[in-house]
Structure 1
Amino acid sequence: MPQGGGPSAPSFQGIDTVSGYEGTGLGDGEGKYFPPPDDMVAKSGGRPHPSLPQWAIPAISEDVAREAFVKYASRKCCYSTAPAKELVFQDLQPFNTYRYRLETFTESRSSVWKTTPFKGGVVDSYLQGPAPSPWSMQVDIPEMFKDHNTCVPVPHTSSVKGCSDCVRLGKIACRQCHGSGRRCCSLCQGSGRRFVDDQCTHCHGSGNTHCTHCFGRGTQDCQTCKGAGDLLYYIELQVTWKNNIFEHVVDQRSGFPSDLFKAVSGEKMFVDEQSLVYPVVNFPEPSINHASQNAIVQHQASFTSASRIRRQRQTIELIFLTKVEYAWKGKQYSYFVYGNENKVYAEEYPKKCCCAVM
């Protein structure tokens, strides 16, 4: 009887070689990746874009700036709303900026050998025909620009092999009793007695009891084949769709932490979506043109060799940013209002109460 132990991966020996899938490994890790054929590589169909206007958006109004600041203070448990309500505006300075984003939606395909217990039935083997190549298999494309994974069995790659863990018996020796069906009595620790003259009532003086793990049989179902004795081997095609994003925000040297822009939206000025986009070349802000050219070159170099670019989308947003300078009780302070959501960033707030946690 094969010895017990933790479930292990089935042996890879004796697996059939399938044309087009040479080098495919066995297991649950990453499979062997296949680059797309040349005729599936996307071609650029874009053209240079017309000039886009420079948006000159003034600073927000004082009413909007005050309302945003009051809301900001009211959400802080230790902040008094008095400064936000009583402040005296000194200056509202616009630092409106631009955000460029390139999204490249890619599809990659890999393969891995999989196994499942086989208890009879039809086997879709090579006798049914040659296996389709990785990129010839039809797989439904999910929603664009959303990460997604799907796995499908490759037709005509199945075969049945005996389980090597149990040598096709479907049973292995019980891990708890090592195949004996008996275990040391837990009450008398194998002595057969509870006290000097008292026989142990649990084991009736024998010093051992039936193994509860295998019910005294000494064997248990093989965890690899689930007691079937045979395994069905087949190649699984793993398809991964990923939305790869490049972002660039123009630095207006306002002193505002640019990382905070990730949490807000802006006003879309430009949207371009096609198989492969063409770099933006004539936007009024030169750093946007430079970022677009670099991003497109970078994405094509990174993704075309191992995956298929399904779609690209580039956008330019105007992100609102206003620096508010104000006075409260004779002292000068400032804060920022940013994004369509009118969020507030304040490095310093005039009045905070002390909160004690008991």
Structure 2
Amino acid sequence: MSNIASEMANMHWQHDLLSSIEVGIIVLDKDYNVEVWNQFMENHSDVRPSQIAGKNVFKFFPEVDEQWFKRKCEPVFSMGTPAFIIWEQRPYVFKFGTSRPITSTSDVMYQNVTIFPLASTSGKTDRICVLVYDVTDQAVAKKNIEGLNQRLQEVSRVDGLTGLFNRRYWQERYEREFKMAVRNKPDICAIMLDIDHFKKVNDTYGHHAGDLVIQRLANLVKLATRETDITGRYGGEEFSIVLPDTTERKAKIVAERLRKLVSLDAVAYEDINIKYTISVGIAQFSPKYTQASQWLEDADKALYQAKEGGRNQVVLASEVKPT
């Protein structure tokens, strides 16, 4: 076989090899001009090898962050060490559409990229090879699992009826705040509140109406508190709140605002407007508390006095007379 025929045969199988591999293969020189652009890259970019050969890769793909990509490639050129880019760090290097646009939930191809040196006969790295792997299926699956785990975590923390924290998670957050308060002694208050004569609402209008009242109160609690406040449904018609960076006086202002909102509110049920009120107890953190339960007990005692005193009122733990 002549040398020309031998070279053509070699080129043919090399072309077949590069075309059949389901991985993007790019060879770049030191100026980031393209020397090899395989079938995978052509299929996903709609750029033919004849169009891009000898051209700067950044001119064809402006979405590639040139400075960042060069920082990744410089150690490959200078030290001959491979570099790796995973989709968790950067979803893609080349912005390609997904290979399965109908069945995939992703609009783009997630990519893992390997960059390795191509040494010349002199031993110097004059070129690098960039391998682009389509990892969309794996990435989407992982993101779906992470999303599911997040939703499960939210479900485990949130009360289904009100959207506030459930008692277990609220208690966890409350105890964390107590431990921090013991160390730092900040201004922070705990609030306990519940709906006055709630049993009468259930007995008169039914449990569905009672649920609507609880939901409405939860919405008003959200309206009256800050994002940094820790709000929860403590149980039944009872709610609990922690107000960080809040003195007893300021906590009473918050509680009174909520109480007034509730007293002016009415829940529409069938053809009836259900009026309701709340009673509130407040306890500011004190260094005298050695256990988290003591702080909440003082708020609960204040709530009890608010009910004993006629309901629809706010009582501070500092106002409660010892029994």
TM-score by length of 2: 0.23
Q: Which has the higher contact order (CA 8 A, sep 6+)?
A: 1
Structure having the larger proportion of residues in helix: 2
TM-score by length of 1: 0.21
Structure having the larger proportion of residues in strand: 1
